[in-house]
Structure 1
Amino acid sequence: MRREDIDALLSTMQALSAEAQEIISTALAATPETADPAQIRDELIAIMQAVAERYGSAAAAASADWYEALRELETSLADYRVQLAPAISPVVVESKVRAVAGPLWVEGGTEQVGTALTGMVDRIVKAAGRDTITLAAEQDPARPRFARIPSGTETCAFCRMLASRGFDYSSMKAAGADRKFHAHCDCMIVPSWGTKSPRIEGYNPAADYRRFQAARKAAIKETGTLALSDWDIVSQMEKLFPEIYPPHGNRDAQQDAEQNLKVSPTGGA
């Protein structure tokens, strides 16, 4: 497996996400200051539903094509047709938008809502692609193994912690596909069908694992217990290796942006 094979899908996901975010940002920027907040919220719901369906479907199709091509490249097995993951429900999208729409009723709250919505649409679009790969892997008779591959210009300590295990994961879910992606995360969970773990340019899980172990020992010493949370270790990774792990790799960076907003009753579901 080559780094360019991973970067090809990542570039597609980033481009789709960026275009979807631009639609949301443009719609909010065009909103008159005197507009009724309830009307703005309802218009945002309709826009988000349309964007999620269109760009989520495109991300799912691109991921299916990528999985099929990579599988064919790395194995001599029979052709395998990937099914697209189900699209996110419009009802779920509406609920998510309502959950973050509260600040529309507060002066200057539009920017706050915009930040939440662009982060939300980024996760929705990329999740459609990741869910398709997850579904493909679960149904694949070849039973691939998985690794979480850091991508982009920088990767937070939480993601690097998950990546430090290399291709030891037996499923996409084990590698973090189950809700372990924060907004604007570019990590890729990729399969491997070979008997040996592939070497990927710029990916050295052994080095990350050594730093993880050092952080774990430091966390045990600081807390005086073996019952550590992921965040205890992540915090130590940032303290011990600040030149490697950017400071945004903390609990708040991993939580959904909408959970950090104060929701007005008029904006809620």
Structure 2
Amino acid sequence: MTAAQAAQLTRHFQSQVLKIAELLARRLRITALRADVSDIDAWWDQISPAVQKEILTGQSALARMARGYLQQHALLNGVALSPVVVEPSAQQIAEALRVTGPVAFKTQMAISGSEAAATRTMASQLQGAATRLVLQGSRETTMRTFREREEMAGWRRIGGGGKSCAFCSMLIGRGAVYSKESSEFRSHDRCSCAAEPLYRREPEPPEVRRLQEQWREATAGTSGAAAIRAWRLFHDGQNSRP
């Protein structure tokens, strides 16, 4: 029953942090769609302080939420844990938003010459970056706790509900990670995956074993980049079925 409760807690926590991240990201997308394209740099200089503050606040909030989640999750596993809460980097947030904001707008303008297309591209990229940046608060709190606290034996990547992309499915299929040297959580914009703590070595769940078997079948006779290409073809074919 404890394992089921821990899994339920993880799903609930993941649902809550995704809602917050996606809400902030949608708000930023709407702001970007209303950009003053006559002077994109001046527009960005005007709005960016408030945007950066909102993303910074969201990331901090999710880091604090992760602390509570990690403590509860550990207790359900019979472990007392003191999580290590990350401090957001304002500089990192500012740079990521600038690249996906005015820089993305100018890049698309150079390609298409269309202000409308450039605005849509900027809005989309800002939305994706904002989701990733806000979720970094919870993800990095989990990862840093794993690196610095011996109570956590490992972690497992889990999807965010719905269909995971080929990249995320590949990483989920690798199963549990128990090495402290393997504590980087790889993500992309709009990625909804999370890291679930593990406190002992345990068998992989059925969904992971299924992905592992699919990987072996899809990549048989290949390795490296060729294996990844084969996996993407297999994954895309599976998910294109009705």
Q: What is the TM-score when the length of structure 2 is the normalising length? A: 0.83
Write the distance in 1 (CA, Å) between the matches of 2:236 and 2:27. 35
CA-to-aligned-CA distance 1:177-224 (integer Å, 9 cap, x gap)? 1xx21111111221111343374xxx5211111111122224x2xxxx
Matched, 1:236 2:237: no
Q: Which segment drifts farther, 120-129 or 184-193?
A: 184-193
Identify the residue that residue 125 of structure 1 maps to in structure 2: 134
Aligned in 2, Cα 1:162/1:32: closer, same or farther, shift over 3 Å? closer
Cα distance, 1:175–1:233 mapped onto 2, change above 3 Å? farther
More relative contact order, 1 or 2 (CA 8 Å, 6+ apart): 1
Cα distance change, pair 7–213 in 1 and its aligned pair in 2 (3 A): same
Secondary structure class of the residue paired with 2:219: helix
Corresponding position of 1:46: 49
Partner residue in 2 for 1:174? 182
Identity, in percent, stands at 15
SS of residue matched to 1:217: coil
CA contact (8 A) 2:129 2:190 kept: no
Q: Give the aligned CA root-mean-square deviation in angstroms.
A: 2.5
- Structure 2 counterpart of 1:134, from 122, 125, 143: 143
Judge which range, 138-147 or 183-192, deviates more. Answer: 138-147
Consecutive unaligned residues of structure 1, counting only runs of 5 or more, are: 221-225, 248-269
Q: Distance in 1 between matches of 2:33 and 2:229?
A: 37
Amino acid at match of 2:103: G
Matched to 2:229, the amino acid is S
Is 1:25 matched up with 2:50? no
Aligned residues: 228
Q: What's the CA shift for 1:20?
A: 1.0
Aligned counterparts, 1:1-269, within 5 A: 1-2=3-4, 3-32=7-36, 34=38, 36-75=39-78, 77=79, 79-89=80-90, 91-100=91-100, 101-104=102-105, 106=109, 107-108=115-116, 109-167=118-176, 169-171=177-179, 174=182, 177=185, 180-197=186-203, 199=205, 204-218=207-221, 220=222, 226=223, 228-229=224-225, 232-242=226-236, 244-245=238-239
Q: Which is richer in helix? A: 2
Q: Mark the runs of 5 or more structure 2 residues left unpaired by the alignment.
A: 110-114
Cα distance between partner residues in 2 of 1:136 and 1:244: 36
Amino acid of the structure 1 residue aligned with 2:86: A
Give the aligned partner of residue 254 of structure 1. Answer: none
Q: Separation in 2 of the partners of 1:121 and 1:148?
A: 21
Deviation at 1:120, TM superposition (A): 0.7
Distance of 1:233 and 1:207 partners within structure 2: 17
**Alpha-carbon deviation of 1:156?**
1.4
CA distance in 1, matches of 2:180, 2:57: 24
Task: Measure, in 2, the Cα distance between the counterparts of 1:160 and 1:25.
Answer: 27
